[in-house]
Structure 1
Amino acid sequence: MSESAGPDGYPRGVKLGVDVGTVRVGVAVCDRDGILATPLRTLARNVKKNTDVQILAKLALELEAVEIFVGLPRTMKGEEHASARMASEYAKLLVGTLSEAGSGLPVRLVDERLSTVTAHRDLHQAGMSSRDHRKVVDQVAAAGILQHAIDMQKARGTDVGRRVSADFTPGSPGDGAQAVPVVHTHSAQRILHKMEGYSEPGQQ
């Protein structure tokens, strides 16, 4: 069961960070105290069947996550283009999948300018060859997104990002903090059972 919000006004517990790409989706996780974000895994993006969204939702439920942060790519001027719309639509798909599983787990969009560039730089500085970057760069970028989010929560003493709801419209003003519809818990077991048949797509 998800942990309740702490005295600082934001949820305490395990959180996930997500870096959405056209080919791969990176996932990161932080400890229950929200101190350190670490790379977790890379999923192959499946636009037709969205099996990666289902795997991610199942993972969040298994880890009893209290919040998911999806990186929202913006230009240096703060503008949102095609990649930002893609991330927004992905976040909405994730909310819908979680809702079908009976979960109102918050999914929030957070600014991720240059996260992938930073991830490549960090991997290079760590001595990893450029050829091997592709295997882990997405999850390292996701860790950067998550670390930024949890650091900002502590600095501001409140939650950060724009919450995505079932009727979320990409690029809409405001924080989108509408309530997420919740269905009965027996639906969660049905969805999780259905997801058991999925295996993680191979990394590309």
Structure 2
Amino acid sequence: MAAERGNRPERPENEAAKERTRTGSGIGATAIVRSPRVRLDQPRPQRRRVLPEWDPEAFGRLSERVARYLGTGRFIVWMTVTIIVWVLWNIVAPVEVRFDEYPFIFLTLALSLQASYAAPLILLAQNRQDDRDRVTQEQERKQNERAIADTEYLTREIAALRIGLGEVATRDWIRSELQDLVRDMEEQHLLLPAENRQGPEDSDRRT
């Protein structure tokens, strides 16, 4: 064994380090399995669904049309006529052609089925209407807030204009100030009296 070790060429340290790195990477690769990265520049593959797909918007519009028709007098009239014809046919008609004799179990089942479908459709239509009303109310609230802000801004501007106009000298104010000034000067005898206003010719004539 010693001879074999002596005859075996020694591996360089770099090769031993590379071998340890390769073995370590192999162990890590088997221990940790990383999921492939999702490419954002490529569309995702379509998933196969067992349940049928439908358009919620189209179904909502259909429910609104049905609910709108159920709330009309035409539907009530037609349903009343249908029930009356149904009952009279199964009472007056011959026994061979009657399909729902008294106590009209099939009619009760049909009306129950119609009511069980009508109630969710009406609720769905109401929910859609509530959503639209909520959006409309939000828009109206924002519009009212903007209108109030505009009104406050205009009010402040008008008040500033009134203050500015109050400081501007108008014609009437200037006239009143001049009249007061003339009155004060007359009171203080700053104006020349009537005798001093005569010219030198008047004085010569007197002499």
Calculate the TM-score normalised by the size of structure 2. Answer: 0.16
Q: Which structure features the higher share of strand residues?
A: 1
Q: Which has the larger radius of gyration?
A: 2
Decide which structure has greater helix share. 2
